[in-house]
Amino acid sequence: METRIEEYTVGELAKAARISVRTLHHYDAIGLLKPAHVAANGYRLYRRAEAERLQEILFYRATGMDLAQIALVLDGGDDRLDRLQAHRAKLDADAKSLAEMIQTLDRSIAVIKGDPPMALEDLYKPFAPETQADYEAWLVQTYGPTMVDEIAKAKEHLANADMEDRIDQLRQIETGLVQAYQEGQARPDALLDAHRDWVSEMWGNACPPAAYGGLAELYRNHPDFLARYEALAPGFSRWLPDAMEAYVAGLT
């Protein structure tokens, strides 16, 4: 009873690792995992070294790494750590955009369900809790802390009764903008003037073009605004920031 060297066929290895035979063929084809040798009949034969390498491959695959990167991590030189951290950064970015998608979708679902689409009052009085943080971060980064303080002061001047009036004004401006969008107007500059004035008053009588452009960016990316403007008319949430930026560009 002679002891053969321990070797696995594709089927055996695939079963042990709970993957498909095709996957092993694929890894062979792209050079990621070659069999220890190929028998005369063409059969691929793997040994323990290959089985271990396969497990490593699957471990990294389970973290979402693509096969080319896995090959580099396993065979590359000293920069394993760099590559892993690069991958880690990518996962972070993915997680971030996923979180944004979820928020946007949630708002949309709420709107369709008939829940009030995040009342204007909440968006602007002064700003919703989550919105507030993003918004202030952006303000500070762009204009420094002074601006934020000024806005805070300006807001205190607005009594509640005033606020309702102002919200009504904004609603009218927005209705006009939606009409402009639906009629296909290219440059609703008069309405945007009014909008910028409105924002300006909210910000303590200052809204330089760059700030208005920044606000466009905020509208484009923030789930609360996105869902609210999308609810006004399909496509409006994407049109408005574009129009705002075109308007800013036109302010010579």
Partner DNA sequence: ATCGGGCCTCACGTGGCGTGAGGGTCAAGC
Partner DNA sequence: GCTTGACCCTCACGCCACGTGAGGCCCGAT
Per CB under 7 A, residues contacting DNA are 9-12, 20-23, 25-26, 39, 41-44, 61, 66-68
Which partner, DNA, its own copies, none, binds residue 109 by CB below 5 to 8 Å per kind? its own copies
Q: Does 232 bind its own copies (CB under 8 A)?
A: no
Q: Which is nearer to its own copies, 17 or 147 (CB)?
A: 17
Tokens read off for 170: 């904004």
Residue closer to DNA (CB basis): 39 or 112 = 39
Smallest gap from Cβ 183 to its own copies, in A, equals 8
Residue 11 binds its own copies (CB under 8 A): no
Q: Is there binding between residue 88 and its own copies (CB under 8 A)?
A: yes
Least distance from C-beta 188 to DNA, angstroms? 24
Q: Does 167 bind its own copies (CB under 8 A)?
A: no
Q: Is there a contact between 228 and 118 (Cβ–Cβ < 8 Å)?
A: yes
Q: Which of 56, 64, 60, 57 is nearest to 90 (CA)?
A: 64
Specify the residue, 39 or 109, whose C-beta has the smaller distance to its own copies: 109
The identity of residue 15, as a single letter, is K
Query: Which is closer to DNA, CB of 43 or CB of 59?
Result: 43
What is the residue type of 37?
A: H
Structure tokens at 173: 């401006």
**22-61 footprint of its own copies as x/- string (CB under 8 A):** --------------------------x--xxxxxx-xx--
Q: Angle CA(217)–CA(222)–CA(228) in degrees, nearest 5?
A: 110
Q: Choose between 38 and 112: whose C-beta lies nearer to DNA.
A: 38
Give yes or no for residue 99 binding its own copies (CB under 8 A).
Answer: yes
> Whole-number minimum distance, CB 58 to its own copies, in Å?
6
**Is 205 a binder of its own copies (CB under 8 A)?**
no
Query: Residues with Cβ < 8 Å from 176, sequence gap 6 or more?
Result: 188, 191, 194
